Amino acid sequence: MRSKLFLAFLAIVLVALASDFIFERLIIRDFDDYVMGVREDQLYWLMASTEGSRIDGRWDMESLRDTLHWAMMLGYDAELRDTEGRRVIASTDVFETLKPAMKRRMEALVHVHEPEGEFEEYPLYMAGKEIGALHIRPLKREGFKGKEAIYKKRGKDFLLISFLIAGGGALLLSFALSLYLARPIRRLRRAAEKVAGGDLSARAGAVSDDEIGRLTRTFDHMVESLQREEALRKRLTANIAHELRTPMAVIKANLEAVMDGVKGKEEGLPSVRAEIERLVALVEGMEDLSKAEASFFARPELVNVRLRGLLEGILQGMKPLFEAKGLELALKGEAGLEVATDPEKLELILRNVLSNALRHTGKGGVTVHYGTDGKDFFIEAADTGEGIPEEDLTRIFDRFYRGEGSTGIGLGLSIAKELVDVMGGKIEVKSKPGAGAAFRVVLPLKGHSPPP
């Protein structure tokens, strides 16, 4: 990329150089056209003045001397000839009639006796009839030629200096920009090579907010997702192997006991069925867990909903389970509260929290209370159950962790925690043994989207 940027700026420099050459040619041409236009105007004035010196068919010599005097001052050697080609008067004749002081001034302006080139003939007319011809050629004028050369040289020097400044600046800028732009891209490339080699801890590290910075942050987020997915895969594999080992061993032992006649069918099969049901629950928990993990990589589908209506629907579906244990399930909160959230994820979170409360509550019930503090909203499920020992509070959201006497598989609360994290919120618990537990889920009121 750095070489491409350098070549791009080099192309700009070459275009600027070509533009300078073209501009120089145009300036010199315009200057030459200007000089030629001035010369044509002067010649026209000299011809008109000379024609005006013809009075009543005769030449007014005094007027001619003034005209040829002006011709010398303008830098021309002039000579008037009649229609027969005879010389009537010339600039040298006029010069000889000048006073010494005027001669010195004239010689300071032009070299009267050093004409340049050959005469050019300009016919003179009066009333449509030729009356003679004015022959003109330039005199040597070092001052004028020098000024003309200086003007042209300064024009060239100006264009050359401007090109050196612009071209040199463009080259330096291209070098600086190529280094500036190539550095984060090189970091991104090195990080991508490490990731391709299996090092998911590699990060490019964004240092700006431009397009390259946003691309770098997107890359780092992608690698973070891959790293998290890989860690989840390894941990899930280890957890599955651990959790399946015990029920499978129990099933095998009971079946072998029945086959060997150590146990009867009536004694061994209930144990086998219980372990199979445990396996089914474990598989269902794994399915919920995989959905929660997939949610980490999917953007939340935010929907504006009335929170009370959403919660009433969730609680209505779980109410029969609570009634079967003789427990109450109540809902409290502001009726008109609207939030922007992902209803599917929120339902899964609340079902897992309530399922946990249902298992650990023997009498009384669960009260679900919701509200808002301005920028967040909360949902709190408080039960009247057995409570959670203090030593278990820091581990209840770990996968497959079960407290003493727990009948679950240890996935419900970890799934709820995963989903709350994805939605940009937090889940808190307060509990004392024998005094029940209160789980509070706090989520953004306007929803949350992960970084691009």
How many Å apart are CA 47 and CA 35, to the nearest integer?
18
**What sign does the CA torsion over 18, 20, 21, 22 have?**
positive
Q: Given this model, what pLDDT does residue 417 score?
A: 84
Could you tell me if 246 and 271 are in contact, meaning their C-beta atoms sit under 8 angstroms apart? no
Q: Given this model, what pLDDT does residue 216 score?
A: 82
Could you tell me if 403 and 396 are in contact, meaning their C-beta atoms sit under 8 angstroms apart? yes
Backbone angles phi, psi at 396, to 5 degrees: -65, -20
**What sign does the CA torsion over 404, 405, 410, 412 have?**
negative
Nearest to 278 by CA among 256, 250, 241, 258: 250
Q: Given this model, what pLDDT does residue 188 score?
A: 80
Q: Given this model, what pLDDT does residue 451 score?
A: 44
Q: How many helices (H) and strands (E) does the chain have?
A: 10, 14
Amino acid 161 reads I
Report mean pLDDT in 10-residue bins for the chain, 452 residues: 61 69 73 80 90 88 89 87 90 85 79 81 89 88 61 71 71 70 78 83 77 82 78 67 70 79 73 75 66 57 86 89 89 87 86 85 89 88 84 69 56 79 86 86 75 44
Q: Given this model, what pLDDT does residue 81 score?
A: 92
- Give the N- to C-terminal CA distance of the chain in Å, as an integer: 25
CA distances to 282, 346, 380 from 447, rounded to whole Å, are 32, 11, 18
Q: Given this model, what pLDDT does residue 193 score?
A: 85
How many Å apart are CA 438 and CA 393, to the nearest integer?
12
How many Å apart are CA 318 and CA 94, to the nearest integer?
127
Q: Given this model, what pLDDT does residue 35 score?
A: 76
Q: Given this model, what pLDDT does residue 10 score?
A: 67
CA distances to 316, 363, 367, 434 from 329, rounded to whole Å, are 9, 11, 6, 19
Q: Map out the domains of the chain with their CATH numbers.
A: 2-151 (3.30.450), 201-298 (1.10.287.130), 300-452 (3.30.565.10)
How many Å apart are CA 280 and CA 364, to the nearest integer?
30
